[in-house]
Amino acid sequence: MILAKHSILALLLASSATASDLQAYAGVQFRVEQSFLDLVSKEFYYQLPSIINDVIAPLVPTEFDIPFVSFSNIRLTGFAIDESRAKWAIDPQQKGLMMNWATLKTWNFHIEVLAGFFWPIEYGFDIDVHLREATLDNGLAIKADVHTGTPEIDLFNSYIALGLSSIDLSGDFVIDIISWFAGFFLKYPAEMLINLFFEPAVNSVLNDIIIPVFLSNGLFRFDVSGSDGQIFDTVVLDVTLPQAPTYEQGIMDLYADGTVYFQRHGHRYTPPIKPMGFVAGDNNLQLVLSSYSINNVIEMVMAAELISLPVADELTTLLLLPIISELYYNFGDRNVTLQITPQSGTKVDFSQGHQSAIVHVDTLIDWIVAEDETKSTNAFTSLLDLDLELSLQVNATKYLNISVDGLTLNAFNVTQDNLGGEIAADQASILYRLQGVMSAVVPVVNAILEAYPIQLPELELIDYSIHFDYQDGAFGTGLHVTPKP
């Protein structure tokens, strides 16, 4: 059989497409500017001594035993740094970050060793490691495999200088001799060996073990079990890179697929077909999420039926009489609980023309009537198709406010009627009456949201403001970081 030239070309293109998981565009975009790195590194070094001395050091066990050997009086003390040389810089020529770390002025490690080979022979000595004027410089680049999008992390130009660091062993004459050789080794061969093996060892651990084994080459998987203990499905976290990060003067851009889904359920939304946009202006840290990424996460949660909300605050058949009169006529004045379960198909739409997001919600509601203190009846079950218009704001006092700007009921369908078909026969009229009260529901929902504001953290040395950017098919968050006066 003879194939036409265009058929052969199409066949080659099809085979090459199936050989790669790469997308045309990313689901998540992340931009870091040099001014953000400068301020965050300053805050990091300001907090680091207290984190090491007050948080990490107390967690170190003071003693432990292994066969024939006891370790006691273990101490990590005196961590101090000089940040005058510290600089994290975006380097377009090296296509990565050049990182000069703060000088480690002091850090002391003490341990007492007691070896008891057999009674009554015991041998004890102390070890003191004093790190002084030690420095570390390295480059860091994030790369992407051109065929699979597997993330790769590359350390380069690494150099460790031990400065005036020393090691002391105290005990008898033999230990003193060992201590001299240990100090000599630390000052000369050790530094050379560390610089010879540190960089390839770290790169090998990251790219040959952690990323392929624990992150499954960018497709991190873990099983989820149901209430019966059986495996429900496998969750896939996709952090593959559809394109390599870019490094320009003072700007670093990272791109990732950035979605989560059930393996059997799969992607229910198509990947982006056009690039998202970063916002020009003062934002020196930006994160842009596509509706593709957000909706795949929502779909996974809904597919797992992880959300089921009971609503029972002062709701009665009498209050519902103008809307669903059948409940009052069948049960009289009784309390009503709504069991709300959002369904698969719930999704978020972003539009550049609105400073808000439209959330399409398909939700299943069980209308449960309490006949007495011990007996409840599910009168009927209905499926509601709702549109919520949500907006986000961060005020000057660092509170994140979520508000509902609109609520529309598109459909009301009875899926189970336990009242002899009365509700199903009246569902068109019930939809009309429910649509009439939607405007009254909005302030009630907003009052609930306002009662639970989200407080954002305050930092010691830097201040920040947050800007939300609504795009067509994407949602951006811009962070403008400035030093505190």
Q: Nearest 5°: CA angle at 87, between 86 and 92? A: 160
Instruction: Check pLDDT > 90 for residue 29.
Output: yes
Instruction: Check pLDDT > 60 for residue 25.
Output: yes
Please state the pTM of the whole predicted model: 0.75
Measured CA distances, 116 to 68, 71, 123 (Å): 5, 11, 6
**Most confident listed range (51-60, 264-273, 311-320, 384-393):** 51-60
246 and 142 in contact (C-beta within 8 Å)? no
Q: Please state, in angstroms and rounded to a whole number, the distance separating the CA atoms of residues 188 and 313.
A: 73
Pairing of strands 151-161, 166-170: unpaired
Q: Is the peptide bond before 120 cis (omega within 30 degrees of 0)?
A: yes
281 and 471 in contact (C-beta within 8 Å)? no
User: How many CB atoms are closer than 10 A to CB 299?
Assistant: 23
pLDDT value for 180: 67
Q: Please state, in angstroms and rounded to a whole number, the distance separating the CA atoms of residues 237 and 405.
A: 32
pLDDT value for 381: 94
Instruction: Check pLDDT > 50 for residue 13.
Output: no
Measured CA distances, 247 to 34, 86, 219, 342 (Å): 11, 20, 25, 42
What is the mean pLDDT of the segment spanning 257-274?
A: 82
Between 466 and 16, where is the model more confident?
Answer: 466
User: Among all chains, which residue has been given the structure tokens 């497709």?
Assistant: 219
pLDDT value for 350: 86
Instruction: Check pLDDT > 50 for residue 4.
Output: no
pLDDT value for 19: 35
Instruction: Check pLDDT > 90 for residue 60.
Output: yes
pLDDT value for 155: 92
Between 119 and 150, where is the model more confident?
Answer: 150
pLDDT value for 9: 32
Instruction: Check pLDDT > 80 for residue 250.
Output: yes
What is the mean pLDDT of the segment spanning 411-438?
A: 92
Work out the pLDDT band at 288, boundaries 50, 70, 90: very high
Instruction: Check pLDDT > 80 for residue 123.
Output: no
**What angle in degrees, to the nearest 10, is found between the helix axes of 173-187 and 189-204?**
60
Range name among 9-18, 37-46, 272-281, 350-359 with the lowest pLDDT average = 9-18
What totals of helices (H) and strands (E) does the chain contain, helices first?
A: 8, 24
Mean pLDDT of the chain: 83
Instruction: Check pLDDT > 80 for residue 343.
Output: yes
Range name among 187-196, 321-330, 343-352, 353-362 with the lowest pLDDT average = 187-196
Nearest to 271 by CA among 238, 236, 222: 238
pLDDT value for 98: 94
What is the mean pLDDT of the segment spanning 145-162?
A: 89
pLDDT value for 184: 64
pLDDT value for 303: 74
Instruction: Check pLDDT > 80 for residue 74.
Output: yes
Instruction: Check pLDDT > 60 for residue 22.
Output: no
Q: How far apart are the first and last CA of the chain?
A: 78
- Summarize pLDDT for 177-214 with one digit per residue, the tens: 776 666 666 666 777 778 888 899 999 999 999 989 88
Between 344 and 12, where is the model more confident?
Answer: 344
% the chain with pLDDT above 70: 87
What is the mean pLDDT of the segment spanning 379-407?
A: 85
462 and 39 in contact (C-beta within 8 Å)? yes
pLDDT value for 312: 59
DSSP state for residue 316 in the 8-state scheme: B
Work out the pLDDT band at 383, boundaries 50, 70, 90: very high
Between 79 and 306, where is the model more confident?
Answer: 79
Write down all domains in the chain, each with its CATH number in brackets: 38-87+101-215 (no CATH), 307-452 (3.15.20.10)
